[in-house]
Chain A
Amino acid sequence: MSKEAPIDRAAVVHVAKLARLTVTDAEADALTRDMQSILAYVKKLDELDVREVAATSHAVHLETLLRPDEPRPCMPLEKVIANSPERIGDGFGVPKIIE
């Protein structure tokens, strides 16, 4: 990561869209500043040579857990949909999707 230039405002705006977050101009400025300082801080990882080190995604050894293929009762529709901001019929309403 040492080669990369620090993140700029345009990149922040792009990442915000990727993460589906509106950001105001002021927020974009603040985020650029904060992310620059955080990314500068994490640069300290470059001090270490980790080419031969395996990545850890689970720190504790875990066995593969398998579930038998047996149906169990589903959740009642009314419960599933109770928190829905927009109910259309028995579905979750959203703005029209254009494919």
Chain B
Amino acid sequence: MSNETEFEPVIGLEVHAQLATKTKLFCGCSTAFGAPPNTNVCEVCTGMPGVLPVLNAQAVELAVRAGLGLKCTINERSQWSRKNYFYPDLPKGYQISQYDKPICTGGKLDIEVDGHTMTVGITRIHMEEDAGKNVHDDGLAGSRSYVDFNRSSVPLVEIVSEPDIRSSAQAAAYMKAMRQVLRYLGVCDGNLEEGSLRCDANVSVRPKGTEKFGTRAEIKNINSFRFVQQAIDYEIERQSELIRAGNKVVQETRLWDSQAKETRSMRSKEEAHDYRYFPEPDLPDLVLKAGFVDGVKKQLPELPHDKLQRYIATLQLSPYDAKILTEDAEVAAFFDAALAVHKNAKSIGNWVINEVLRDLKGSSIESLKFEGAAIGELVKLIDDNTISGKIAKDVYAELMANGGSPKAIVDAKGWVQVTDTGAIEPIVDRVLAANAESVEKYKAGKTNVIGFLVGLVMKESKGKANPAMVNDLLKKKMGG
């Protein structure tokens, strides 16, 4: 290849998503994150002699849900296989996975890159158990590591894409879109820091305009959108350089070193792998009962794209607002919950975008002390004249600080807007008496002075008087 040869990358991603179950794939141990080492374990997930796997029903349902959300064919019969290799974090010496007959095949995911929509094909989704964790603390005596099996047998789906991706930006967009869909579906919490979502990238390059795939390298265990982009960029450059220099790309497994910002060959995977897959004799085929898939389909939540379209078409939100509200499944759920209380999409949308999301400064909406319904209630209080917009801000500040229900806050603080003429009238009279000058001006035709007078009444009523009512009363009394 000449130095001018331009290369095109061919990329396929394998996303590993932890299924949002309470218990592990093959035993009843908790999947809770962050437990002390080897406390969420039992004889099954530590591979003691004589143990047998029993499949978690919820994991099956979530895998089917993922398949439906990604427009896959759900296979009524799928099969478990053993993937055999030795590693300390793999307690049985094999991983129970699906190989020949996965639960889902042939789907797709639409992604948006630079304003353009493209479709990435999904080859398959299969279920598998996670391995434990090898820990090599610096604190440990130099030549030792230790194993923690808390993660062992945590349920995963591996979602394998077609090699349809042509840039690192597309890869990052794919991973983001995948996370969004899986979170919408309730399949995976999408927590990248805790390892709930991670991916392997298969990257090869070929001279632009050619058809034949180059030799690929597999980059393992990438756990952020930024890293996926950086790792792939690095890998494209590395492989292109190799070929330009007349060398060959070696098929191998590489690791992204986020500190050194480079991929490097994994020593532990140097040995040519021969996983000796064969059907798992301890588990019968997974046969989905008649009607099961339809049942899951019926309860499938609205997906991001459909929700976006509905917000624009039915709720008449601007595409910009609709996009912000649907970006994250939790935010959309928060908005929907508010809307369920009070049907003023525009106002609620504004509150969520301009107040709630701004105040969150990027932290999770679940960290709030109140739920979406509270915002619906708040907007309802404004719309039915119970409180003024100004008071609403105070109620919101109270919600942020201490949570609770807007109505209860308004009641407790005595912030109910005064709409009783009998209560407002004496204040109006007092203000008029004390501001004879302004009254004269008004009568002389300087009607804009009324704003000043309204302000005084509001001030005296501590903001509780209904401004429109004050306005009317003033006009009436001044003979306008």
Contact = CB atoms under 8 A, between A and B. Distances in A.
B214 interface: no
A98 B284 contact: no
Contacts, number: 115
A89 B57 CA distance: 35
Interface stretch (A3-11, A28-36, A37-45, A74-82): A74-82
B37 A70 contact: no
Contacts of B41: 74-75, 80
Given A69-B22, A72-B28, A81-B38, A92 B266 contact: no
A59 to B, nearest CB: 10
16 contacts: A57-B279, A58-B281, A64-B55, A64-B287, A67-B56, A69-B56, A74-B29, A75-B46, A89-B37, A91-B38, A91-B135, A91-B148, A92-B147, A95-B145, A96-B136, A96-B144
A77 B37 CA distance: 9
A13 to B, nearest CB: 14
Nearest to B93: A20
Interface string B346-386: 00000000000000000000000000000000000000000
Interface of B: 21-23, 28-30, 36-43, 46, 54-60, 86, 88, 134-136, 140, 142-149, 255, 266-268, 274, 276, 279, 281, 284-287
A62 B58 CA distance: 20
B231 to A, nearest CB: 15
Contacts of A88: 140, 144, 146
B76 to A, nearest CB: 11
A94 B88 contact: yes
Nearest to A61: B284
Q: Per DSSP, are chain A's interface residues mostly helix, strand or loop, or mixed?
A: loop
A90 interface: yes
Given A62-B284, A95-B144, A97-B88, A69 B57 contact: yes
Interface residues of A, number: 33
A18 B135 CA distance: 24
Contacts of A74: 29-30, 39-42
A70 B144 contact: no
Q: Per DSSP, are chain B's interface residues mostly helix, strand or loop, or mixed?
A: loop
Contact of A92 (B22, B43, B58, B146): B146
Given A64-B286, A70-B28, A91-B148, A96 B55 contact: no
Contacts of A58: 281, 284
A69 B21 contact: yes
Nearest to B44: A75
* Closest A-B pairs by Cβ, 8 of them: A91-B146, A69-B58, A72-B28, A62-B284, A66-B57, A88-B146, A57-B279, A75-B42
A69 B23 contact: yes
A63 interface: yes
Nearest to A69: B58
A1 interface: no
B279 A20 contact: no
Contacts of B38: 77, 80-81, 90-92
B187 to A, nearest CB: 14
B135 A99 contact: no
Contact of A91 (B37, B58, B267, B287): B37
A70 B42 CA distance: 15
A86 B146 CA distance: 9
A99 B255 CA distance: 8
B36 A90 contact: yes
Given A89-B37, A96-B143, A97-B268, A71 B22 contact: yes
A86 B143 CA distance: 13
A91 B279 CA distance: 31
B448 to A, nearest CB: 67
B55 A71 contact: no
A48 B367 CA distance: 67
Contacts of B36: 90
B42 A63 contact: no
Given A89-B146, A93-B144, A94-B134, 19 more contacts: A18-B276, A64-B285, A68-B57, A68-B58, A69-B23, A69-B59, A70-B28, A72-B28, A75-B41, A80-B38, A80-B46, A86-B144, A88-B140, A91-B135, A91-B147, A91-B148, A92-B149, A93-B146, A96-B142
